[in-house]
Amino acid sequence: MSFQGYLTTIKSKTGKGPADFRKLAEEKGFTKNGELTPATKAGDITNWLKNDFELGHGHAMAIYALLKGIKNEDSE
């Protein structure tokens, strides 16, 4: 599945897009000024997304990649 495919599936399942997850991550303290805090690990993000949004591991890792800056909305 392409990165865009992950984002599309996440949006249809949760009703939330990348900007929403960036805002929620900031509210949860996982990011500050749009960047992951040094204490935030991939497991923190994936556990949050699995528990709160019932995302699978691959979809949760896609959001982690987005928050970490590895991928963005235009990535394939």
Reported as a pLDDT band with limits 50, 70 and 90, residue 19 is very high
Whether 30 contacts 48, CB under 8 Å: yes
Whether 7 contacts 75, CB under 8 Å: no
> Which is more confident, 74 or 64?
64
55: Cα separation from own chain's centroid: 10
> Taking phi first (over 0 means left), then psi (-120 to 50 degrees means alpha), and beta for anything else, what does residue 69 get?
left
Q: Any idea which of 23-32, 54-63, 64-73 has the lowest mean pLDDT?
A: 64-73
Going by C-alpha positions, the residue among 57, 55, 3, 58 that lies closest to residue 24 is 55
Statement: residue 22 has pLDDT above 90: yes
Statement: residue 74 has pLDDT above 90: no
